[in-house]
Each structure stands twice: as structure tokens, then as C-alpha cells.
């Protein structure tokens, strides 16, 4: 498939051309008798009397195929292929017109493959038709009756028959599109493996009801027409007599059928004269499941639904699947929240399980978000703001971007449900934020209308909720910091949970972390004992409220705390795969390239949330691999956020009080300059480079020019030796280039040069063109 579109960019995109071995002998035969044989390397084909057509072997990249090809032109264009379901043979195959009349392909230790039978002789005709005769000279079999992907002048596709595209430019096997001459008189194109039903078709001659015996015909002048046995019912092409010109019609690899002509001389070439459509996105099934076709600069390509990645990049028909980040973390997070991303002006197969009329786009978004089964909804708007909302289960297929003239009846929008944390687009964020407002508005209106009833119901609702809260706190002896779901533990409880702080999980600047098990629900937790002098109890409570309100898939969740006398402890969810440092710097657990990219995205999303999405902006101040923990699905989560204020006391930004860790801290820390969110961007940049290269930012064991990662990366980037950075690991060069550029932008000395986390995410997503980064310290003088 990979050549499909590039090929289509050329004026004459003829697919399979036969290569005849130079040593092969070719003779012209008017008649081929029983006992004659061909092999790929010696006597490889039988020519027609004029020498224009040949029947025999033609070479493919991985073997040989048998068929009819135009031998009289340099391209040796193939027009028919034998044994289409498995057309490729090794060089030791022999083609023989056996004495029993069968035309067969013979291979050592394999049973013969019979191409055609019951014959007394054969002939390669000058029309391109290869025929077999019985002893009374009657035709018993002909290639014209069994077309593969091509029709030649004089050949027809009779009622009930179909032709198929080839699999690829280099593989003549049956492909994924078909053209059928139906017995209802209609000529229709479908993807393979579908029923002959209108909702699968992507081309129709609209001639149904014109007779049961209509055939598709091509004449010597390039006239392509439908004939009902007595008269022409439709001309597809105009046809024009030209001297020394041959024509052929073929359903190409891309699913479109076209008429080509070619002057019969050695300098000529195939020229497209007519095609069933000019829109390369029309053929259904060109893009696999959950992807849609888009044409840019006359070249078509397949894009995934938001939140999906290509299964096999380069093979579009393989489609897209949910990207791992979502799947991996979904099971863990019970409360994944969803949002809707919209794909405007797209068309999909409609297999809805619910179709609600007279909805606005917003109603449709809401309806899908509220319905667990809804994977996507197709909103088919009218010119007013209302339309129908067709709820779908995934996968979606046959997607394509519509042309502007196809939108006459109103917008065609696909609304795709994705988990919140996998997306960053401005639009979607807005949409989400709009939702609660809408609900409030609806409730407000209802209240006016049905005040008494609603009040009564609300009272019951509120009352019941109160009762439930009361029950919980009573049973479990839980105290809650006002409206934050944090639990206050007693010191004794945590001593018991950690078995007297027996199992230390790690130790950082702020204190040691211990494994614990909560006695009431057997949840495994990580208990952090803060060992430094801390701010007062009031500040502690304030910070706990801030942290308690954060909730994001890529942040380690704080479950509770304890402050008793001089004891300060924090209780976090337990991360079973340790820290990023553990897996990244250990050659045995080193994540693969794709996983490293996913981890980078996870971290970036977590930081973005801290910076821009949670109620109180949080600057982490200590982003480093040791503070990034991995859950059981190896989903990266940031820990230790929100502690900066607590631990720094009043020593604002001085050298003595810096919390950041050497190697990761932004230069402004050391210069008594105000610290902003851009300090985290710097640290993220360093971590990103570490993730790319799987090494620490400072490694004195390495040679001098490699010891400081930031410098080494820039130097390699400057001389274009990116492969060195990944130790010549096989990674996608484009992605590597993108990741390195992002890293270099993040570690700019000048804070204002660094992108915001939002931009970083867009860059990581590949939706943002990244300019060439300057040398990280070239703007140093300005700070």
C-alpha cells in the first residue's frame, strides 16, 4: 500500500509491468499445441502474432506471476493475471499445456494448479485475449471471460460479474475494491467483503432497472459504455478514434476505475483519459477502521480519530486503535472523565443504535457523553441549528473529509468521545467547561417552571445525601478537610499501617517514604514522613486543601495526611512500578521508544494540569525522574507537587533554600530571579532529554563532551547526528527530531524563550510545527 498515493500523483500510474529476462526466448505463435511449456527463466512467454501481447511469466520483486501483458511497449503492462488468489511463484515453476488438455502450473513436490481445462490447443490473440480451443476449434476458455482488474477493447464485463483492484503496485493479488456489473443493470463499486447494498457502494452508474443483461464494454476508440443487448444505455466516456493508440480500463489499486490510452511507440506513455471520480477519498475502505481520508495538495492520506493511533503506520488500510496511554490508564482510573472532540465535515458509515431528531449539536454532545455505550455520534445538521444525532458504537469506518459542495444540506459532524487527559486542544477544553454551565442553565429554567415540584425533589435529594455522608463518617471514623476528599490520619494509625515504618520505599530531600497498608480497606499506600522544619499548621492545612483538590490521571493522588505534635506525614496512593529513574537508568527495564514517548506525554499532561488546569496554579519546582512514579500499567504520575511552598518557608528563591535538584533546576533559581511556571518547563526539558537518551543529565563517567546531557544533545543536534543520542537504537527519525527540538526549546536559559506546557503538548502531539531551536544559552545575557 505504501506507494499507493505517491503513485497516483503521476499522470500514468500503471501498476504492474512485466520484466522479461533478457535471455528469454520469445516466439510468435498463431497456435500453441498440447505439450508446450514455459518457465520463468528460459522460454518465458508466448507472443501474439503481431508481438503486441504475450502470455507467460512476468517478474515480480519476490517471484514470478503468470498472465497476459502488453509486450510491444517498454512498460510491459499487465492486463490479466492467473491464479489471482495466490499469484506469486518461485523460479522453478513450469507452465504447461498438458496432453490431457489442461493448462497447469507445476512445481516440484506440490500438486499442480489448473488454470483452465478441456482444450486441444491455445492461442495468444492480437486483441490481448488468451484462448483455449477444443478439438473442433470451439473456444472453451478465454482470459476475456475472466477479467482480473483490467478490461481491454473488445472485452466486456457481463451481468453478474465483477473485477477487483490489485493488492498493491508490486503485488498483483486481489485487492480491496471491486466493480460489479449487477443484474439490475447498475454498475456499482464496493469495498471487498461487503454485500451488494447501497450503503456500501461508492460509485454507481444509476442505471438500475435498465435490464437484467446489461454489460460494461470498451471499444477500440476508447468508448466505455453500458449495453443492454440491443442498444447503448449509457456512455461513460466519449471515445475518439486515434491512430496507433491502445486503450485499457482498469480498477486501480486506489479503488478508482480509469480509462487510459497510449500511443504505440517507444516514447509514448500511458495517459489517463477518464476516471470514475477525481476525489481520491471516495473509495470506501481505503482508510481502515477508526480513520478517515483527507486530501491535501491532491495527495490523499488517512488520519486517525482523536485519541487513536495508526495500527501500522504506512499501511492505511490497517486503521487506527486507541492509543495505549488511554487504554493503559483507563482500568486504573475508575473516574475517567470524557469529553467530545469534533471532526467537522466528515462522513462515516452510519450504523447507529439510536437516532434522535431535532437536536442541537450541544444536545448531541451531551447525549453521547451521558451514554456509556456511545463511542461517537454523527450529527447531521440541517441549515437551522437542529439536526439528527446518531449515536454509534466504535469502530467507525469509511470515514472521509467532505468537499465543500457536499455540505449543501447542512453540517456533517462526527463527535468522538475521548478521555479528557488524552487531549489538549483549546476547543475541547472549552467544550468541557461549557457543559456544567449548561446544566445549571437547564436546571435554572426548570426551577422557574416547576418551582414547587423541583423544590420538593431537591429537598429529598439533599436530605438523602446528608444522611449518606453522615453514615460514612460515622462508620469509618473519617474526618474530612472541608470539601476536599482528604482523610486525616492519627499518627498511631500510620505507625500501624507501615508496621512501624519498616519498609522504606525511597528517600528524598523532604523525607523518607514507607510502604503501608490501611487497616480498614487493605489499600496499599505510600506514607511520606516529612523530616524538615515545616511551615505552621495553618499553612499546612492550606496546602493540603490545594493538593487535595488536584485530580489528574498523571498526578499521584494524595489520600490523606497526619499532623500531630511535630509529626508531619502524607499518605499517597502506592505506585507499584517505582520511579521513572528506576526504569529509565536501568538497562534491563529501559522502556521502548514508543513507551518513552507515551511517558513524556503523560508527564507533560500532568505538569500542564498543575500549571493551568487546577484551581490553584501549582509550580512543582522539583520535576525529576525520581519524582515521577509509574503505576502498575506503567502510566507515569508526578508526585511531590504542592510541597514547594511548605518546604521553602520564607527563604524565597535564595541559593540556600533552593528546593530543586541540581541538573534539573532552571538557571533563574541560581540568580535570585523570580521563579515562574517556566522553571518547571526547564526541568521537563531536561527530563525529556533523559527519556530520549535513557541517561542521566549529568554523568561524569562519560567523556567530557558527553558528560552534560544538555550540551551533548545540542552539539549532536547542531551537526545532525541525532542517532548518536539514542545509541543508534532504531527509532523513527522524524519523531526523534521532534522530541529533541522540544527538549532544546524547553531548556533555553532565557525563561521567556521556553514554550508554555500547553505549547509543549501541542508539539509533542505533532500538531504544531516546531521551529529550529537556538543554542540553549545563546540568550543568557538577557536574564
Ligand X SMILES: *[C@@H]1O[C@H](CO)[C@@H](O)[C@H](O)[C@H]1NC(C)=O
Catalytic positions, written as ranges = 622
DSSP letters spanning 87-100: --B-TT-EEEE-TT
- Residue 341 to residue 292: CA distance in whole angstroms: 15
Dihedral sign, CA of 399, 401, 403, 404?
Answer: positive
Q: Which three cell numbers stand for residue 159?
A: 451481468
Element spanning 518, H or E: none
Residues 185-224 that bind ligand X (CB under 6 A): 223
- Residue 617 to residue 615: CA distance in whole angstroms: 6
Q: Which residues contact 443 (CB under 8 A, 6 or more apart)?
A: none
Nearest-approach distance from CB 36 to ligand X, in angstroms: 37
Nearest-approach distance from CB 314 to ligand X, in angstroms: 26
Nearest-approach distance from CB 272 to ligand X, in angstroms: 11
Residues 665-724 that bind ligand X (CB under 6 A): none
Q: Angle at Cα 333 formed by Cα 330 and Cα 337, nearest 5°? A: 80
SS3 at position 401: strand
Nearer to ligand X, 232 or 492 (CB): 232
Nearer to ligand X, 12 or 577 (CB): 12
State phi, psi for 235 to the nearest 5 degrees.
-95, 120
Nearer to ligand X, 269 or 778 (CB): 269
Nearest-approach distance from CB 233 to ligand X, in angstroms: 7
Nearer to ligand X, 262 or 397 (CB): 262
- Residue 429 to residue 450: CA distance in whole angstroms: 33
Q: Considering only 231-239, 512-520, 527-535, 627-635, which stretch makes contact with ligand X by CB under 6 A?
A: 231-239
9 binds ligand X (CB under 6 A): no
Interacting residue with ligand X among 91, 92, 135, 235 (CB under 6 A)? 235
Nearer to ligand X, 263 or 698 (CB): 263
Count of residues in contact with ligand X, rule CB under 6 A: 7
- Residue 741 to residue 724: CA distance in whole angstroms: 15
232 binds ligand X (CB under 6 A): yes
Interacting residue with ligand X among 239, 548, 591, 755 (CB under 6 A)? 239
Dihedral sign, CA of 228, 230, 235, 238?
Answer: positive
Nearest-approach distance from CB 271 to ligand X, in angstroms: 6
Nearest-approach distance from CB 183 to ligand X, in angstroms: 21
Nearer to ligand X, 225 or 324 (CB): 225
Dihedral sign, CA of 195, 201, 205, 206?
Answer: positive
Interacting residue with ligand X among 36, 106, 269, 676 (CB under 6 A)? 269
| 294 in Cβ contact with 401 (< 8 Å) | yes
Q: 134 exposed, middle or buried (CB, 10 Å; 0-12, 13-18, 19+)?
A: middle
Q: Residue 65's closest CA among 26, 22, 110, 113?
A: 113
228 binds ligand X (CB under 6 A): no
Dihedral sign, CA of 692, 697, 703, 704?
Answer: positive
Q: 764 exposed, middle or buried (CB, 10 Å; 0-12, 13-18, 19+)?
A: buried
Nearest-approach distance from CB 221 to ligand X, in angstroms: 8
Element spanning 453, H or E: helix 451-476
Nearest-approach distance from CB 59 to ligand X, in angstroms: 23
Q: Residue 737's closest CA among 724, 725, 727, 722?
A: 722
**Bridge partners, residue 63, by sequence:** 60
Q: Residue 73's closest CA among 12, 148, 144?
A: 12
Length of the chain: 783
Contacting residues toward ligand X, per CB under 6 A: 11, 223, 225, 232, 235, 239, 269
Amino acid at each position: 500500500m505504501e506507494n499507493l498515493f505517491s503513485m497516483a500523483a503521476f499522470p500514468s500510474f500503471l501498476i504492474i509491468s512485466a520484466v522479461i529476462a533478457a535471455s528469454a526466448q520469445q516466439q510468435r505463435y498463431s497456435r500453441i499445441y498440447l505439450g508446450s511449456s514455459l518457465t520463468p527463466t528460459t522460454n518465458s512467454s508466448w507472443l501474439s502474432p503481431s508481438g503486441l501481447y504475450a502470455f507467460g511469466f512476468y517478474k515480480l520483486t519476490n517471484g514470478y506471476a503468470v498472465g497476459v501483458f502488453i509486450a510491444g511497449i517498454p512498460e510491459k503492462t499487465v492486463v490479466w493475471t492467473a491464479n489471482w488468489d495466490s499469484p506469486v511463484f518461485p523460479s522453478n515453476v513450469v507452465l504447461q499445456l498438458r496432453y490431457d488438455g489442461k493448462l497447469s502450473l507445476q512445481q516440484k513436490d506440490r500438486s499442480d494448479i489448473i488454470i483452465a481445462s478441456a482444450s486441444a490447443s491455445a492461442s495468444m490473440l492480437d486483441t490481448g485475449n488468451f484462448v483455449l480451443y477444443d478439438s473442433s476449434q470451439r473456444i472453451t476458455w478465454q482470459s476475456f471471460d475472466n477479467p482480473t482488474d483490467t478490461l481491454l477493447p473488445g472485452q466486456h464485463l457481463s451481468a453478474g460479474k465483477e473485477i477487483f483492484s490489485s493488492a498493491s503496485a508490486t503485488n498483483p493479488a486481489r485487492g480491496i475494491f471491486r466493480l460489479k456489473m449487477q443484474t439490475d443493470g447498475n454498475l456499482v463499486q464496493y469495498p471487498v467483503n461487503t454485500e451488494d447494498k447501497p450503503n456500501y457502494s461508492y460509485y454507481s452508474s444509476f442505471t438500475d432497472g435498465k435490464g437484467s443483461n446489461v454489460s460494461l464494454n470498451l471499444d477500440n476508440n476508447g468508448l466505455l459504455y453500458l449495453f443492454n443487448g440491443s442498444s447503448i444505455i449509457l456512455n461513460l466516456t466519449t471515445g475518439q478514434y486515434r491512430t496507433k493508440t491502445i486503450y485499457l480500463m482498469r480498477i486501480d489499486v486506489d479503488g478508482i476505475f480509469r480509462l487510459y490510452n497510449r500511443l504505440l511507440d517507444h516514447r509514448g506513455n500511458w495517459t489517463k483519459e477518464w476516471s470514475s471520480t477525481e476525489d481520491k477519498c471516495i473509495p470506501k475502505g481505503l482508510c481502515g477502521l477508526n480513520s478517515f481520508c483527507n486530501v491535501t495538495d491532491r495527495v490523499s492520506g488517512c488520519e486517525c480519530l482523536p485519541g487513536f493511533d495508526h495500527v501500522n503506520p504506512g499501511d492505511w488500510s490497517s486503521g487506527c486503535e486507541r492509543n495505549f496511554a488511554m487504554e493503559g490508564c483507563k482500568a486504573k482510573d475508575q473516574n475517567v472523565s470524557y469529553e467530545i472532540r469534533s471532526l467537522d465535515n466528515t462522513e462515516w458509515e452510519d450504523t447507529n443504535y439510536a437516532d434522535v431528531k431535532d437536536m442541537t449539536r450541544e444536545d448531541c454532545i451531551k447525549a453521547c457523553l451521558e451514554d456509556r455505550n456511545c463511542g461517537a455520534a454523527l450529527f447531521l445538521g440541517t441549515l437551522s441549528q437542529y439536526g439528527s444525532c446518531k449515536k454509534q458504537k466504535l469502530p467507525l469506518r469509511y470515514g472521509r473529509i467532505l468537499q465543500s459542495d457536499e455540505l449543501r444540506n447542512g453540517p456533517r459532524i462526527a463527535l468522538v468521545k475521548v478521555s479528557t487527559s488524552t487531549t489538549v486542544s483549546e476547543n475541547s477544553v472549552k467544550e468541557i467547561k461549557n457543559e456544567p454551565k449548561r446544566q445549571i442553565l437547564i436546571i435554572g429554567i426548570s426551577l422557574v417552571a416547576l418551582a414547587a415540584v423541583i423544590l420538593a425533589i431537591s429537598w429529598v435529594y439533599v436530605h438523602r445525601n446528608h444522611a449518606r455522608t453522615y453514615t460514612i463518617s460515622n462508620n469509618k471514623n473519617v474526618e474530612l478537610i472541608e470539601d476536599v476528599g482528604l482523610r486525616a490520619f492519627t499518627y498511631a494509625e500510620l505507625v500501624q499501617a507501615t508496621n512501624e515504618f519498616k519498609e522504606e520505599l525511597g528517600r528524598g530531600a523532604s523525607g523518607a517514604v514507607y510502604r503501608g497498608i490501611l487497616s480498614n480497606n487493605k489499600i496499599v499506600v505510600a506514607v511520606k514522613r516529612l523530616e524538615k522544619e515545616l511551615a505552621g499548621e495553618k499553612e499546612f492545612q492550606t496546602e493540603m486543601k490545594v493538593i487535595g483538590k488536584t485530580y489528574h490521571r498523571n498526578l499521584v493522588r494524595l489520600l490523606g495526611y497526619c499532623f500531630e505534635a511535630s509529626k508531619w506525614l502524607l499518605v499517597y496512593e502506592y505506585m507499584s512500578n517505582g520511579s521513572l529513574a528506576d526504569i529509565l537508568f536501568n538497562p534491563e527495564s529501559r522502556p521502548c521508544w514508543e513507551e518513552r514517548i507515551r511517558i513524556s506525554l503523560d508527564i507533560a499532561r500532568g505538569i500542564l494540569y498543575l500549571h493551568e488546569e487546577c484551581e490553584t496554579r501549582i509550580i512543582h519546582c522539583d520535576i525529576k525522574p525520581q519524582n515521577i512514579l509509574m503505576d502498575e500499567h506503567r502510566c507515569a504520575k508526578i508526585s511531590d507537587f504542592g510541597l514547594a511552598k511548605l518546604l521553602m518557608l520564607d527563604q524565597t528563591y535564595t541559593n540556600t533554600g533552593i528546593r530543586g535538584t541540581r541538573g534539573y533546576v532552571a538557571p533563574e533559581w541560581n540568580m535570585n530571579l523570580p521563579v515562574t511556571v517556566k522553571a518547571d518547563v526547564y526541568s521537563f526539558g531536561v527530563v525529556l532529554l533523559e527519556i530520549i537518551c535513557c541517561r542521566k543529565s549529568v554523568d561524569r563517567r562519560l567523556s567530557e563532551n558527553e558528560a552534560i546531557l544538555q550540551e551533548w544533545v545540542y552539539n549532536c543536534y547542531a551537526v545532525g547526528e541525532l542517532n548518536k543520542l539514542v545509541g543508534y537504537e532504531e527509532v523513527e527519525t522524524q519523531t526523534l527530531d521532534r522530541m529533541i527540538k522540544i527538549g532544546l526549546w524547553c531548556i533555553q536559559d532565557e525563561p521567556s524563550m521556553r514554550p508554555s506546557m500547553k505549547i509543549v503538548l501541542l508539539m509533542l502531539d505533532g500538531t504544531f510545527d516546531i521551529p529550529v531551536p537556538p543554542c540553549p544559552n545563546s540568550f543568557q545575557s538577557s536574564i
